[in-house]
Amino acid sequence: MTGPWTEVMSLPASPNATVSVYGQTVYVGVALNLDERTPNVLYASTDGMDFSARAVPCAPSFSLVQVVASSATDVAMLCEGNEGQSAADKPVYWSTDTGTTDRSAGTTYDDGIAADLAASPSGNLAVASSSAASFLYINDTHKTTWTFVIDKGDGGAGWNDLVYVTDQEAFVVYAPADVFFPLGQIFVTHDSGRHWTVAAL
């Protein structure tokens, strides 16, 4: 290895991994890999250098799809399993102590397979998913109840880069320009995800 990089750990072989950073707090998750017979793994660091393993809240047959830090200590985790015809179970978990302990934030509606998670500083959650259509769900109660806010019968145009920038405001890319349905629109919400509109660029 050349340059200013320093290797801090080695990860198991997997086609899917997630990294999330908030200040010096860093999370690295690696999804279940049935081909290599390796389970989900999750590591956390509060200084960006020294990582400790965390228990993964996903069921043994579910994949850790995404980890999203929303403060120096708060983190949300999206799991996925039981994939079927245009649907999958998508339970979400929440931790306020860098993943040392966690609690259920409920399970979204099962519509959609490809999924993207976002979390606001106060703990509002959103999941965008797609399969034969495009869907968006939110949990703004800080409990386990999810609300279905968008259902687009678009053949699976999908979403990218769902993110909260404040407790009330979030953005997501709808139908990225590099897919078969080249809309490339930016959707925005100003009420924690209850209503979304196309942002003027």
Residues 6-35 pLDDT 10s? 777 788 888 889 999 999 999 999 999 887
| Residue 91: per-residue pLDDT | 98
Dihedral sign for Cα 91, 127, 75, 83, please: positive
| Residue 1: per-residue pLDDT | 47
| Residue 89: per-residue pLDDT | 98
Pair 197, 187: CB distance under 8 Å: yes
What rounded mean pLDDT belongs to the chain? 92
Please give the C-alpha separations between residue 17 and each of 12, 31, 33, 43, in angstroms, as whole numbers: 10, 6, 10, 11
Q: What percent of the chain has pLDDT over 90?
A: 78
DSSP code for 199: P
Q: Environment class of residue 198 by beta-carbon count within 10 Å: exposed (0-12), middle (13-18) or buried (19+)? A: exposed
Closest by CA to 174, choosing from 97, 93, 116, 124, is: 116
Q: How far apart are CA 191 and CA 196, in angstroms?
A: 9
Dihedral sign for Cα 47, 164, 74, 128, please: negative
Tokens representing residue 36 in the block: 């290599």
Residues 40-76 pLDDT 10s? 999 999 999 999 999 999 998 999 999 999 999 999 9
Tokens representing residue 49 in the block: 């250098």
Residues 123-171 pLDDT 10s? 999 999 999 999 999 999 999 999 999 999 988 889 999 999 999 999 9
What are the structural domains, with CATH classification, of the chain? 17-198 (2.120.10.10)
Residues, the chain: 201
CB-side neighbour CA atoms (13 Å) of 125: 32
Q: What is the pTM of this model?
A: 0.92
